[in-house]
Chain A
């Protein structure tokens, strides 16, 4: 079945540092890929998405590129802020829609001054 693997956290960075959170997936065909963010005490917010190979999703300075050859969708940001502290979830939706999301285990990011 489909699965998503994320790097374990917590990841602790200083403000303005470069961020990478690794995400790889196992799925047939061409799933859609997502990053969701969960701020402390809140629900999940869609951060960005990509629906086909080589697509780049971007939002709020975050980027992720859909790499079919490496089955990856790594999240990056050039300069993190304290306000980016949250848990980040990578997820996939199977080829052809179907609405059923498979989530990774989540990666906690802590950004310090």
Chain B
């Protein structure tokens, strides 16, 4: 399985600011995803990060709030924009190869918004 790292591992931010989270994989992968895990909750898919094109967002998530970049097959960023305390969550990236059913997850970024 791929080795996945995320930066930062945690952060405390002020409301109204933005934070960019990085996801780096040690090998080329076709699929990259971003999830949110609110406190005590399960995981919710935010979007699929597509290389060279706009991300595909799930219902309830929009590009203005969660812009995503994927410049190549090993790297993606998620920005949480104009943050509010409700954005306090763990944000996780995951990877998979196309037409396979198994996703592998990064260690997550713990975000607290004051």
Chain A: CB-nearest residue to B97 = A99
B53 within 8 A of A: no
CA distance A106 to B40 in the complex (A): 9
Which residues of chain A have C-beta atoms less than 8 A from B101's C-beta?
32, 49, 51, 93, 97, 99
Find residues 39-73 in chain A having any chain B CB closer than 8 Å to their own CB.
Answer: 42-46, 49, 51
Give the interface size class of chain B.
20 to 34
Which residues of chain B have C-beta atoms less than 8 A from A103's C-beta?
42-43
A25 within 8 A of B: no
B67 within 8 A of A: no
Find residues 63-113 in chain A having any chain B CB closer than 8 Å to their own CB.
Answer: 89, 93, 97, 99-101, 103-106
Q: A103-B42, A104-B42, A106-B42 are in contact. Are A44 and B102 (CB under 8 A)?
A: no
Minimum C-beta distance from B88 to chain A (A): 15
Among B43, B103, B108, point to the contact of A99 (Cβ < 8 A): B103
Interface size on A, residues (CB 8 A): 20
CA distance A43 to B23 in the complex (A): 13
Against A, the Cβ 8 Å flags (1 = close, 0 = not) of B87-114 are 0001010101011111111111000000
User: Hey, which bits of chain A sit against chain B, CB under 8 A?
Assistant: 32, 34, 36, 42-46, 49, 51, 89, 93, 97, 99-101, 103-106
User: Hey, which bits of chain B sit against chain A, CB under 8 A?
Assistant: 1, 6, 31, 33, 41-43, 45, 48, 90, 92, 94, 96, 98-108
